[in-house]
Amino acid sequence: MVLASSKSTLPLSDTPQLTYDHSPSNISTLCNEVLKDHAIKHSSDPAECFLKSSTKHSPAGEHHTPTTVFYPTTTAEVSSIAKACHERNIAITSFGGGTSLGGALTATRGGVCIDFRNMDRILGVHDEDMDVVVQPNVGWVELNEWLEGKGLFFPPDPAPGAKIGGMISMGCSGTNAYRYGTMKDWVISLTLVLADGTVLKTRNRPRKSSAGYDLTSLIVGSEGTLALVTEAVLKVATLPVNLHVGLACFAELQTAVNVVGKVLKSGLQLEAIELADKPSIHAINQSGLGEEPLLEHPTLFLKFAGGQEIVRAQTQFVEELCKQHSAQSVEVSADKGRINVIWGARKCLGNALVAMKKSESDLFLHTDAAVPVSRMAKLVEESIRIVEGSGSGKRRGWFCANVGHVGDGNVHTAIICPKEDKDAAEQLLSQVQRLALELEGTITGEHGVGLKLRDLLVKEVGQEGVDMMRRIKIALDPKGILNPDKVVRLSANI
C-alpha cells in the first residue's frame, strides 16, 4: 500500500485494499523462517488459538481466531516474528492478560498471535528515580505486590488480571485515575517493535523531555495497531500512608451523585471516589464475591490517605456532607480487615456484574462514557432514564446497573440480557454514548475503541479526526498487519 496522495488525512474511500496471505502453506513457511533463527515456543492447536481472540468478558464467539500462537521471550524474537509477518503479509494480534473489552483481541483477519506470557519479568527498579523497568506481561497486581515492600506502588488499576502491555495498548485506568491520572501519565518510555520488525526505544529515563514527537504517548492507547510493546519504563508513586476507606449509602442514587459533586467542588483531593447503584450492590451480594454482604442501596466507596490532619479534615468533611444528605449509613475505617471488606467489594464489582448472567450465553453489555465532572450528575440521571424509561429491561427481565469512577466523570451503564436482545440493549446503550458526546464527553473513558466503537468515534473526533488516525496507522503499518481493523476501519465491510 502506498500513501500516494498529498493529503494530511486518509479517508476510508482512499484506502487501498489490504491483502493478507493466511494460507496454511504461507503460515507454515513463516513458522519455519522464524524458528530457523530462534527457538520460540509456538502452537497451532485450534483450541489454544481460539482462547487468544477471546476474553473473560467478551468470548470470541463467532469471531475469527489466529491459526498459530507464538510465545517469544525477547524483543529480538518479537522483531523476527514481525519482520517475517511483514514480508509474508500475515496479520498479528497480541495477547496479554485477556481482560480487554470491546473486541481489541479479535483476529478479524486470522493470522498469528503473539502471546507475551513468557515476557513477564520485572527488569529493575530505580528507587530514587521512582521508576521501574518491566516486560509487557507483568501484571499490575503482581507489580504492586512486589513494589509494596519498597513503599512504592503503581497506580493504574484496571481489571485484576490485566498486564502492563495490554494496559499500555488500551490506555486504561481504574479507580485510582481520579487521583493519579491514567496509564499514559505513568509511562516514561517504551521499547517498540514496529510492523516491519524495526526495534526502537522512545526515550531514556528522564522525567521530562522535549526530544521530538511524543512517540510514547502515541503508542499508549493505540490498541496494538501501531507497534508491539516489548519493554516499558514506568513511573511509580509512594505508597499512600494512613489509608482510610469509606462506605456511604443513600436512599436515592441522585443524592449520592450530588454528594460527589460537592466533594469535587471542595478542592479536597481524596484517593478515590466510586459510585455503585443499588443493583450493583445486589450483584456483589448475590455473587458471593464480596467478603460480607452490604446494604443494598446506592453506595459511594471512598478512599483517603496522607497526613493525619489531611485525612481527618477529609473524612470529617465527607461524613458531615453525607449526613447532611440524609445518608442511610456512613462508615470510615482504617482497619485493615474492614478496608479489605469494603474495597474488596468494589474491586469484585466487574466480576459480580458478569455473574448476574442467567445463562452462559447471556451478554454483558456496557458503556464507558466519561464527561466533564460538572456534567456527571446529568450523565447518570439521563442514562438511567434512557435505560429504565424504555421499559425494555423490565419487560424482558434484563439486569441493569450503573457503576462509576465518578471522581473523574466516568460511568459504566451495564445491561445483562439474553443474546437475542442484543440489538435492543445496544440501541439503548448507544443512546447513552451519544448523550455523553452531547455533554462534551467521550464514548470511552478507559476501555478503548476496539471494534465496537469505531463508528461512534467518528461522532466524537469527526471524520477528519478518524481520517488523521488512519493516516498515521497506514504510515507506520502500510500493510495493515498489526491488529487490523481496530480503532479505525481499514475496509468498509470489516
Hey, which residues between 198 and 217 contact a second copy (CB under 8 A)? Answer: 198-215, 217
- Examine residue 80 and tell whether it contacts a second copy (CB under 8 A): no
Cβ atoms of residues 445 and 368 within 8 Å: yes
Q: Any long-range contacts for 260-268 (C-beta under 8 Å, 24+ apart)?
A: 260/300, 260/376, 260/377, 260/406, 260/407, 261/373, 261/376, 261/377, 262/321, 263/317, 263/318, 263/321, 264/373, 264/407, 266/317, 268/313, 268/314, 268/317, 268/318
CB of 306 to a second copy, least distance (A): 9
Strand partners, 163: 139
Residues in binding contact with a second copy, number by CB under 8 A? 100
Name which of 160 and 181 has its Cβ closer to a second copy.
Answer: 181
CB of 289 to a second copy, least distance (A): 26
Half-sphere exposure of 284 (CA within 13 A, CB side): 27
- Examine residue 307 and tell whether it contacts a second copy (CB under 8 A): yes
Per CB under 8 A, contacts with a second copy among 98-127 are 126
CB of 112 to a second copy, least distance (A): 18
Look at residue 15 and give its three-state secondary structure: coil
Cβ atoms of residues 136 and 164 within 8 Å: yes
- Examine residue 46 and tell whether it contacts a second copy (CB under 8 A): no
Candidate segments 180-188, 281-289, 296-304, 321-329, binder of a second copy by CB under 8 A:
180-188
Name which of 98 and 480 has its Cβ closer to a second copy.
Answer: 480
User: What are φ and ψ of residue 83, in 5° steps?
Assistant: -60, -45
Q: Which of 254, 252, 251, 262 is nearest to 302 (CA)?
A: 262
Q: Which of 414, 447, 382 is nearest to 277 (CA)?
A: 414
- Examine residue 318 and tell whether it contacts a second copy (CB under 8 A): no
User: What are φ and ψ of residue 215, in 5° steps?
Assistant: -65, -30
- Examine residue 484 and tell whether it contacts a second copy (CB under 8 A): no
| Of 282, 347, 412, 479, the one binding a second copy by CB under 8 A | 479
Strands 92-95 and 112-115 come out as parallel
Per CB under 8 A, contacts with a second copy among 60-79 are none
Encoded one letter per residue, x for contact with a second copy by CB under 8 A and - for no contact, window 420-439 reads -----------------x--
Candidate segments 31-39, 45-53, 117-125, 369-377, binder of a second copy by CB under 8 A:
369-377
Name which of 283 and 370 has its Cβ closer to a second copy.
Answer: 370
Cell 481520517 locates to: 467
| Of 371, 387, 401, 416, the one binding a second copy by CB under 8 A | 371
Separation of CA 244 from chain center: 26
Per CB under 8 A, contacts with a second copy among 448-477 are 448-449, 453, 457, 460-462, 464-469, 471-477
Cell 444528605 locates to: 325
- Examine residue 355 and tell whether it contacts a second copy (CB under 8 A): no
Per CB under 8 A, contacts with a second copy among 131-170 are 131, 170
Per CB under 8 A, contacts with a second copy among 269-298 are none
| Of 32, 326, 374, 427, the one binding a second copy by CB under 8 A | 374
- The grid coordinates of residue 154 equal 503503581
Encoded one letter per residue, x for contact with a second copy by CB under 8 A and - for no contact, window 225-264 reads -x-----------x-------------------------x
